[in-house]
Amino acid sequence: MAAELLTTLKQNLDVGIPPLELLQGGITLTDISRHVLLRLGARTTGAVDATTATAANG
């Protein structure tokens, strides 16, 4: 499943994430989102947290 995720990120967003980053223990979707945003050059402070808060309250 991790290989499919990495392939999809590369194809759709042109974002390459080293496989070892996904093999860390306890990595969450929020962590993956932060990695993607960093590679896209987005500021992650508050952006992911706001999305998480909206989803949790929604």
The residue written with tokens 């967003």 in the block is: 13
Quick: pLDDT tens for 5-55.
Answer: 889 989 998 888 888 887 877 888 898 888 888 888 876 565 555 555 555
Q: What pLDDT score does 11 carry?
A: 92
C-alpha to C-alpha distance for 20 and 30, rounded to whole angstroms: 17
Question: Is the whole-model pTM more than 0.75?
Answer: no
> Residue 16, by phi and psi: left (phi above 0), alpha (psi -120 to 50) or beta?
beta
Residue with tokens 């706001």: 50
Q: Which pLDDT value is given to residue 12?
A: 92
